[in-house]
Amino acid sequence: MRRARSWRFPDHLAMVLMLGVTGQVGQVVLLRELLMVFHGNELSLGVILAAWMLWVGVGSRLGAVAVQRWPDPYRLLRIDATLVALALPATVVAIRALPGVIDAPPGALPSLADMALGSLALLAPVTMLLGAQFVLLARAWRERDASIDASGAAKTYVGEALGNVAGGLAFTLLLVHHLDAVQTSVAIGAAMLAVALARRQRGAALAVVVVALVGVPLASHLDAWSERLQWRLQAPRYELLETHRSRYGTIAVLRHHDQIAFFQSGHLVFSTGGVDDRAVAFEEQDAVTLAHLVLTQHRDPRRVLLVGGGLRGTLREVLRHGVERVDYVELDPALLTAAAPYLPAGTAAALADPRVRVHHTDGRLFVKAGGDAYDLILVDVPDPVTAVVNRFYTEEFFAEASARLLPGGVLALSAVSTPDLRGAGIANRNATLYHTLRRVFTEVLAIGERTLALLAAHDPDQLSHDAAVLMRRYLERDVSSPGFDAGHLALLLEPGPLERINWVLRHHGRSADAHLQPPPASPLVPGDLARQRAQEGELASVSERFFVNTDARPIGYYHTLVFWDALSRADAAPALRWIARVEPWWALPPAALLLAAAVALRALPRTRVRAAPRYAVLVAVFTTGLSTMTMQVALLFAFQSIYGFVYEMVGLIVAIFMAGLALGATITRLLVPDQADRRVLAVVQLAVALMALGVAVALPWAGGLASPTAVFVAFALFTFVSGVLNGADFPLATSCYLALDRRPERSAAIVYAVELMGACGGAALASAVIAPVLGIVACCMLAAFANATAFTVLGVGGLRPARIDAPAT
Q: Which of 614, 603, 735 is nearest to 677 (CA)?
A: 735
CA–CA gap between residue 450 and residue 417 (Å, rounded): 5
Q: Which of 731, 728, 722, 719 is nearest to 784 (CA)?
A: 722
Tell me the residue length of the chain.
809
3-class DSSP assignment, residue 381: coil
Q: Which of 611, 585, 589 is nearest to 599 (CA)?
A: 611
Amino acid at 632: Q
Of the candidates 180, 380, 677, 729, the residue annotated as catalytic is 380
Q: Which residues contact 420 (CB under 8 A, 6 or more apart)?
A: 449, 497, 500, 501, 504, 522
Which DSSP category does 237 fall into? Answer: T
CB count in 10 Å sphere of residue 369: 14
Q: Which residues of 630-655 are buried (b: 16+ CB within 10 A; e: fewer)?
A: bbbbbbbbbbbbbbbbbbbbbbbbbb
CA–CA gap between residue 303 and residue 327 (Å, rounded): 8
Residues 78, 196: contact at Cβ < 8 Å?
Answer: yes
Q: Which of 333, 335, 351, 795 is nearest to 602 (CA)?
A: 795
CA–CA gap between residue 161 and residue 180 (Å, rounded): 25
CA–CA gap between residue 26 and residue 126 (Å, rounded): 9
Going by their DSSP bridges, the two strands 405-416 and 451-457 should be labelled as: antiparallel
Going by their DSSP bridges, the two strands 374-379 and 356-359 should be labelled as: unpaired
3-class DSSP assignment, residue 256: strand
Q: Which residues of 179-217 are buried (b: 16+ CB within 10 A; e: fewer)?
A: bbbbbbbbbbbbbbbbbbbbbeeeeebeebeeebeebbe
Max Cα-Cα span within the chain = 108
Residues 402, 412: contact at Cβ < 8 Å?
Answer: no
Which DSSP category does 410 fall into? Answer: E
What values do phi and psi take at 454, rounded to 5?
-115, 120
CA–CA gap between residue 775 and residue 766 (Å, rounded): 9
End-to-end CA distance of the chain: 41
What values do phi and psi take at 329, rounded to 5?
-105, 115
Strand order, beta sheet including 267-272:
239-246, 249-256, 259-264, 267-272
Tell me the residue ranges of DSSP E strands in 196-266.
239-246, 249-256, 259-264
Amino acid at 450: R
Q: Is position 420 annotated as part of the catalytic site?
A: no
H helix and E strand count, the chain: 31, 11
CA–CA gap between residue 377 and residue 306 (Å, rounded): 6
Residues 355, 310: contact at Cβ < 8 Å?
Answer: no
> Dihedral, CA atoms, 688, 692, 698, 700, nearest 10 degrees?
160
The three-state (H, E, C) secondary structure of 506-544, written as one string: HHCCCCCCHHHCCCCCCCCCCCCHHHHHHHHHHCCCCCH
Report how far Cα 205 is from the mean position of its chain's Cα atoms.
Answer: 38
Residues 515, 580: contact at Cβ < 8 Å?
Answer: yes
CA–CA gap between residue 577 and residue 272 (Å, rounded): 34
The dihedral sign for the CA sequence 478, 480, 483, 485: positive
Which residues carry out catalysis?
A: 380
